[in-house]
Amino acid sequence: YVRWPLTATQRRKLSWVQLAGHKGNFKAADEGTILKKFSENEMECFVKLRDDALLPFVPGYHGVVEKDGESFLHMTDLLANFNHPNVMDCKMGVRTYLEEELVRARERPKPREDLYKKMVEVDSNGPTPQEHSQRGVTKPRYMQWRETLSSTHTLGFRIEGTKKHDGTCRTNFKKTRSKQDVIQVFKDFVGGDANLIKSYLNKLKEIRQALNASHFFRQHEVIGSSLLFIHDHTGKAQVWIIDFGKTTALPEGQTLKHDVPWQEGNREDGYLWGLENLFCTLESASNE
């Protein structure tokens, strides 16, 4: 229960939105900041990003904090400077699981009933006869199947969710695959405003330049990371790089190109190829 009139902070808390991940992974924190459930891996990424070309495009990182006996990463709330923002989460890359997850699942498969049920919900013919009889699918198998439904394989990115200024949320993009489908989602997201698309295109150009200059990017397999698009009615538009939970350092001296096909063993993630396709898709959306 919140008393009227609302303070600015209360308003923000009410309109804060999480478009992916488990509910409960995030908590509100001091003015303009949020807490994300601690992960060693993500923390190490934030620390390394402190002196990298990508720093201007990632949420500010303010260290590890304990709350109610749990650890969290303290970071800037990217929505804090907006009123009634529109938000979209685009997961980047041609692959959404780590090579090591694939190897582990092969060596000791752990079929999960929850993932089996999720698969059947979308397509009762999704599971193989064996998966049907054991009523379980492994995590990488589930993720690979989802990649083929969405635009992850065909475009190198996929839309995870959107929230519009009027409060309507959509996370049902599991089958949004074709370029035309994605164009429609973007046009709806910006309310048909071609200037907003132009602003987003400029932001993506800046991000591409920063990625090309980034040592961090060259030295990491970037899996499951998203671009977070945010705009409001004033025309202010921003794009941020978020979610380093599965971004993994390569062995010393090794680098990735990020724009060549993935073959198991090469650890390529297709991030730059996806960014190029995202750019072209947005260009098409602004010309239609």
> Out of 85, 136, 245, 270, which residue is the one contacting ligand ATP (CB under 6 A)?
245
Which residues, 6 or more positions from 212, have their beta carbon under 8 angstroms from its beta carbon? none
Minimum Å distance from CB 180 to Mg ion? 25
Residue of closest CB approach to ligand ATP: 21
The reply on whether position 75 binds ligand ATP by CB under 6 A is yes
Residues 232-261, one symbol each (x = binds Mg ion by CB under 5 A, - = not), give -----------x-x----------------
Q: Which is nearer to Mg ion, 221 or 243 (CB)?
A: 243
Minimum Å distance from CB 213 to ligand ATP? 23
Query: Which of 54, 89, 49 is closest to 209 using CA atoms?
Result: 54
Minimum Å distance from CB 8 to ligand ATP? 16
Which residues, 6 or more positions from 117, have their beta carbon under 8 angstroms from its beta carbon? none
The reply on whether position 25 binds ligand ATP by CB under 6 A is yes
Minimum Å distance from CB 38 to ligand ATP? 11
Q: Which is nearer to ligand ATP, 76 or 144 (CB)?
A: 76
Residues 210-229, one symbol each (x = binds Mg ion by CB under 5 A, - = not), give ----------------x---
**Binding range to ligand ATP, per CB under 6 A, among 63-71, 101-109, 239-247, 254-262:** 239-247
Q: What angle do CA 190, 192, 194 make, to 5 degrees?
A: 85
Q: Is the dihedral of CA 264, 268, 273, 274 positive or negative?
A: positive
Among Mg ion, ligand ATP, none, residue 59 binds (CB under 5-8 Å by kind) = ligand ATP
Q: Which is nearer to Mg ion, 204 or 222 (CB)?
A: 222
The reply on whether position 85 binds ligand ATP by CB under 6 A is no
Contacts to ligand ATP from residues 160-189, by CB under 6 A: none
The reply on whether position 238 binds ligand ATP by CB under 6 A is no
* Residue ranges that bind ligand ATP, judged by CB under 6 A: 17-21, 25, 34, 59, 75-79, 87, 89, 224, 226, 228, 242-243, 245
* Residue ranges that bind Mg ion, judged by CB under 5 A: 20, 226, 243, 245
